[in-house]
Every structure is written in C-alpha cells, then in structure tokens.
Structure 1
C-alpha cells in the first residue's frame, strides 16, 4: 500500500488490510498494536518527506548543518498533522511516498513503513537518541507527564510503538529502523514473532545504517 498523505480512506484501507491479515492467523487481539504502530510510523515517515519539500521551498541545503538547523526551526514551528494534506500534491510531484507492507510468514508478522530516501547523518543521530530516550518510559502516562503538550517532534512515534510492544507482551526492541544510501530507502520495521521467541539481547541494535 502506497500513500502520500494518509486520509480517512487510507486509514480505513489500512485497518481492513491489517484486520484481514491478523484475522487469518487468529490474532485479532494484536489489532491495536499493529494499527497504532502503523499510524505512528506513517506520521513519522510523512514528516520526513514533507521536511524535504519544505527545505526545497526555503532553498536550503538539507545536507548543510547550518541550513539544516535553520530549516528545522521553521519546520517545527509551522508544521503539524493538520497541515499534512496541503503537501499531498507536492509529495506526489516530487516522487516522495510512504509504502506500507504487512506480511505474515512462518509464525512471524512483519510491518514495514518505507520512505524512498535514506536518513541524513543528523537524522540517524536523532533516531538513535529517540531509541535511547524511549527506554526511560514504561507507559505513555510517564511520557506525557514529562513532555506535557510538547509531544510534536519529541520522539512520540518510537516511544509509543515501544510501549505498545512491551504492553502486548513483546520485546520493545522488535522495533527497528534501517537506512540505506545505496538502496535510497529508510525502513521502520515492527517484527512480531507469534511463537514466543526469546527476547533480544540487551545489546540488540535497533538502528542500522549502510
């Protein structure tokens, strides 16, 4: 399933696809986990695409650290999810998209949210920080108590997905992000084993960059 900016019809389609896949293996109980995780990661991926469009509009070099910091000030202050639809046409024209894949095979369900561009080095560092920061929270109440209303751009997606995994009885490190300059893609993956696979080791990497 490919989306540019997901609206109500896209969300209904996503919900239907996930329900059919989970229903086929008798795991409808995982619907909240997969649907919420997909929505959070899709928002993150959409933001990353729109960020690149905005930098182009501002004529800033996203690879330049000074330009990046200047552009991010504007990006964070001006963009919220309500403004996403305004960028749908530009995403399509720029060839930027978000691809959602959910596959069941051999007692394992893989949810993948893919951008067709790699992470910038500074973005990879931020993702690494978000993975570390997410480990501080056992539930969303703790997260909201610390961040208040300033959750926009505060690593909410990664934190929420990790907490959902943990509260569903899975290892929170089953969320990972892969970025490849060679393949020109970034993939956020939630990989859930249905047969009680042992938890990952404490040193299990969640960010892979090549």
Structure 2
C-alpha cells in the first residue's frame, strides 16, 4: 500500500510521455517537418512546446486514436512482485534516445529532485530538463527500489517503459530477455 502513490506518480509520468510522443509525431506531420532532420526536429520541438495546451492534448489525442496510435498500460502482479509496462506504438528517434540516455545517467547521481532541477537549469538544459525521468529514478531510490528495475526499451515500432517492483528474492525480472534497451548502440 505504501507504494501506491509512488506507482501512481511514475505511471502518470510515463503515460503522459507516451501520449505526447504519439501526438508529437502527428504535429510534425501536420507541419511538414521531418523527424529525421536535425533542423526540422529542433524547429518542431520549439513549435510544439509553444502550441501545447490541454485543448491541443485532447485534439491530438483524438487524432492519435484515429491514426491507430496508442499508449497502453499492462499490469502483471503476483506474490513475487509487480510489473507494469507503458507501451506506445511509436519508436523513439535516435536523437530522443541519446537525450533520454543522458538524462537517465544524470538522474542516477541525484537523490533530490530540486537539486537535479537546479543543476539542469544552471547548465542551460532546456527540453523538459529531464525532470520526469529524474523524478522516476529519485522516487524509486526513495522507496529503496533499485532503479535498474526501471527500463525503457524499443521493440520494433514500439517504445516500452517498464517498471518492476520485486516483493521477494524469487522475483524474475524480464530485463534479461528484452529487446534493445535505451542506451545500447543502434546499428
């Protein structure tokens, strides 16, 4: 029961990120911007940030559904532990993967979100400042859950964010049987 608030906060962050990733793809398409072009990507992210609102989120949520884009939550639970996966059917782009890997690595060095935020602000870090990923890592550390049980991976055209919480030593993590996790080289 003590993990309910932590799990809720982490899931909310992951679902919002998954939905935004899908919506961002549509936004880029509608503005004739290539996700593969560095210049278009930077321009598109700037436009997306300026345009984003609750109304836009609802509008693009409907567009995502119409185009078959989704963000799904899958729960597995037994006496050994819990496994939650947030899956969306758009793969992370290379530049997003690099950024995410750097943010996760930085977040591992912190135990306090305010400290992480201040350091990011001082270094001029912009896009979201990695607060969501840092929040997840810091919350897990606060619950004495090894952050290695949080993983983001790519399987085909899907991005999967997985959180595993072991309740016993008999818990078997899926992480050793995964596709390519974020951070492994792409060839």
Q: Same fold (TM over 0.5)?
A: yes
Partner of 1:177: 152
Unpaired runs of at least 5, structure 1:
1-27, 198-204
2: CA distance, partners of 1:81 / 1:171: 34
- Contact 2:85 2:161 (8 Å CA) reproduced: yes
Question: Is 2:48 the counterpart of 1:71?
Answer: no
Per-residue CA deviation, residues 165-199 of structure 1 (Å, 9 max, x unaligned), is: 10001112211101123xx10000111111258xx
Q: CA separation of 1:196/1:125 partners in 2, compared to 1, >3 Å: closer, same or farther?
A: same
Partner of 1:56: 29
2: CA distance, partners of 1:87 / 1:99: 16
- Contact 2:151 2:163 (8 Å CA) reproduced: yes
Q: CA separation of 1:32/1:206 partners in 2, compared to 1, >3 Å: closer, same or farther?
A: farther
2: CA distance, partners of 1:206 / 1:162: 16
Alignment of 1:152-167 (within 5 A): 153-167=128-142
Partner of 2:18: 45
State which of 88, 92, 95 in structure 1 corresponds to 2:61. Answer: 88
State which of 76, 81, 85 in structure 2 corresponds to 1:112. Answer: 85
Q: CA separation of 1:152/1:123 partners in 2, compared to 1, >3 Å: closer, same or farther?
A: closer
- Contact 1:173 1:206 (8 Å CA) reproduced: no
Aligned length in residues: 175
- Contact 1:175 1:206 (8 Å CA) reproduced: no
Question: Is 2:168 the counterpart of 1:195?
Answer: yes
Partner of 2:6: 33
2: CA distance, partners of 1:143 / 1:81: 27
2: CA distance, partners of 1:162 / 1:54: 29
Give the secondary structure class of the aligned counterpart of 1:102.
strand
Question: Is 2:95 the counterpart of 1:122?
Answer: yes
TM-score by length of 2: 0.82
**Runs of 4+ with >4 A deviation:** none
TM-score by length of 1: 0.74
Question: Is 2:138 the counterpart of 1:186?
Answer: no
Partner of 2:76: 103
How far did residue 139 of structure 1 move? Answer: 1.5
